[in-house]
Amino acid sequence: MNPERDRQPRQPSGAWPFPGDTPLVRARKVAQMYRAALGAANPTMRDECDSTAQAFGETWVIPRVITTLDDDWLTPAEAADFLCVSTARIRGLRIAGRLKGRQVGGEWRYQVVDLRRLQTETRRRTPRVVAEA
């Protein structure tokens, strides 16, 4: 990673430059920015921090390219990583009927095309009713 390339132009309103990002995705992008800066300043320290994070099971820390096709089937953990949510959220989306899945050998699998559809859905909130005074 190159910290010079990771810099984004300041938004006029100070708004986040990627409006569709969830809070988790935003946090990961900020962490990746710090990781890139640390790597430029002290690669040895970055590698030590990476090792510590991985020892605690935080494998997302080190960026990696993953190629998936729309017809690939992912495990719940892979699907959660794909959407940057928890496996509990994946299960909840399936139970709510928003995500199709199939059981393979007792474990659920989710097709990439369905995960991509979820990523592009517009989230709509139910308008709140405000009590009249």
Q: What is the pLDDT of residues 72-101, one digit of tens each?
A: 999 999 998 888 788 898 999 999 999 999
pLDDT digits (tens, 9 = 90+) for 39-54: 999 999 999 999 999 9
Do 78 and 114 belong to one domain?
yes
Tell me, yes or no, whether 107 lies in a domain: yes
Contact, 51 vs 57, CB < 8 A? no
In a domain, 4, yes or no: no
Same domain, 58 and 85: no
* 30/48 same-domain check: yes
Q: Which has the closest alpha carbon to 1: 44, 63, 51?
A: 63
pLDDT per residue as tens digits for the range 7-30: 655 556 678 887 777 788 888 889
Q: Are residues 48 and 25 in the same domain?
A: yes
- Compute how many other C-beta atoms are within 10 angstroms of the C-beta atom of residue 110: 25
Residue 103 scores a pLDDT above 90: yes
Q: What's the pLDDT at 95? A: 95
Is the same domain home to 60 and 77?
no
List beta partners, residue 102: 109
* Domain extent for 80: 73-120
CA–CA distance, 79 with 83 (Å, rounded to integer): 6
Instruction: Answer whether residue 35 is part of any domain.
Output: yes
User: Is the pTM above the cut of 0.85?
Assistant: no
CB 77 within 8 A of CB 68: no
Q: Are residues 78 and 55 in the same domain?
A: no
For residue 2, being part of any structural domain is answered with no
Q: Do 82 and 59 share a structural domain? A: no
Residue 126 within any structural domain of the chain = no
The pLDDT-based confidence of 129 (bands split at 50, 70, 90) is: low
Do 77 and 39 fall into the same domain?
Answer: no
Do residue 88 and residue 111 come from a single domain? yes
Q: What is the pLDDT of residue 17?
A: 82
For residue 28, is it within any domain?
Answer: yes
In a domain, 77, yes or no: yes
